[in-house]
A and B are shown apart, each in its own frame.
Chain A
Amino acid sequence: MSEQIKQERGENTDRRTFLKTSALVTGAALAPGVLFYGVAQSRAPEEGASSNVRWGMLIDTTKCGDGCNDCVTACNTENGLSGETGPQDSQWIRKVDIKDLRTGYVQSLPMMCQHCENPPCVDVCPTGASMKRADGIVLVDRHTCIGCRYCMMACPYKARSFVHEPLTDQNPDVPRGKGCVESCTFCVQRVDRGEQPACAEACDAKGHKAILFGDLKDPESELNKALKANSSIEVRADLALNTGVRYQGI
């Protein structure tokens, strides 16, 4: 028994030294100042989503450009949405303008699925199609979605859409079809490849850098550093949903 424990310990030290050296090697390989975002967070395809991670976002509304729609456009392109905004069209992310009626101060911010820790959409789903992945991303499993739309009514953020018409020419990474509810997936196909969601990337590309995506469970992540340094809120914090998306400056 004690031998076994020793062996295990020995293995652990080996692993520790291995990790140390590999960390050193990667540290040396990456030039200082280069942020190797994607590679650092990517995982093996057979690994699956881990509960050691919880994906989240901090949206700085003071940086969000008034009239800029790039996050919405990027989302539409990535996920194959039409971009129409009628009552029967899918919108996974929308730009919302809010105005303080007393002062007239106007702010613009993107609003999408908030990827709650306790999602009401998952609570009400009668088939288990509405689900939260181990890494906190809230998704709809279209294979079991019956299109009842309870989740759409339960969501306080109006984040979900229903597909009313048959679709063709979907993006192979983003299957979508008539009769199912859908919403922002944090671009799960990109996140699984170690990239950030399309909206965040587009916002960075535009130079606004209003959307910061990262791991809420990693104390060293850029996201957590920003959350620690700035005052941020959940929208409808009174519902105690512990949203994965937080806003700064509203």
Chain B
Amino acid sequence: MARLANWLRLAALIGAAALSAVPSIPAVAGVDLPKLEKGKGDKCVEDTQFMRRNHMDLLKHHRDETMRKGIRTTRHSLKKCVECHVSEKTGSVASSKEDFCAACHSYASVKLDCWDCHATKPGKKPLLTMGQGGQAAQASPLMASTQNGGSK
């Protein structure tokens, strides 16, 4: 084991030396890190760093709890993720490459199939309760934009 660790250390040193020796090439060639839109709330339900690494586990755990046992807590529910992280521009979390989910997933080249079944947009119901109940379909995009404008 000690030998392996030594080898690794050596390899890392060589790598670092190689990077510093060629300063004209940037560390991450070509692709910029994804720029994420800020979510609606003050902070996420968990620490940001924790969410970056573990959001998939939380979601998978929650999906089984909800689907199989009927436990409908909202802290780790996908629906609530969407409600906070929906893009102001597209009104979705995954319709363009700048949207919250799509931005990281296209950067990391990890295909996600949540959106084959789940809605990428928050429901119309909370918007409806804010008034103008009659024209649900028409009112919602307008309402969404005014709501977002107000929160700035």
B73 engages A45 (CB within 8 Å) = yes
Interface string of B49-69 (1 = CB under 8 A from A): 000000000000001110111
Q: Is B79 an interface residue (CB 8 A)?
A: yes
Nearest residue, chain A, Cβ from B80:
A172
Nearest residue, chain A, Cβ from B117:
A177
A172 engages B68 (CB within 8 Å) = no
Chain B: how many interface residues by the 8 Å CB criterion? 20
A31-39, A112-120, A131-139, A207-215: which lies at the interface: A131-139
> Chain B residues with Cβ under 8 A from A45's Cβ?
71-74
Selected from B65, B70, B73, B116, the residue in CB contact (under 8 A) with A133 is B70
A-B contact count (CB 8 A): 57
Q: In whole angstroms, how far apart are the Cα atoms of A239 and B123 in the complex?
A: 41
Nearest residue, chain A, Cβ from B70:
A49
Selected from B63, B70, B72, B119, the residue in CB contact (under 8 A) with A170 is B119
B82 engages A172 (CB within 8 Å) = yes
A45-B74, A143-B63 known; A176+B117 contact, CB < 8 A: yes
Chain A: how many interface residues by the 8 Å CB criterion? 28
> Chain A residues with Cβ under 8 A from B67's Cβ?
139, 141, 143
> Chain B residues with Cβ under 8 A from A84's Cβ?
none
CB-based closest 7 A-B pairs:
A177-B117, A49-B70, A175-B117, A177-B116, A172-B119, A172-B123, A48-B69
> Chain B residues with Cβ under 8 A from A171's Cβ?
119, 123
Q: Is B118 an interface residue (CB 8 A)?
A: yes
Nearest residue, chain A, Cβ from B122:
A172
Interface string of A140-157 (1 = CB under 8 A from B): 011100000000000000
Interface string of A169-183 (1 = CB under 8 A from B): 111110111111000
Q: In whole angstroms, how far apart are the Cα atoms of A45 and B74 in the complex?
A: 8
Q: Is A238 an interface residue (CB 8 A)?
A: no
Nearest residue, chain A, Cβ from B95:
A168
Interface string of A25-46 (1 = CB under 8 A from B): 0000000000000000000011
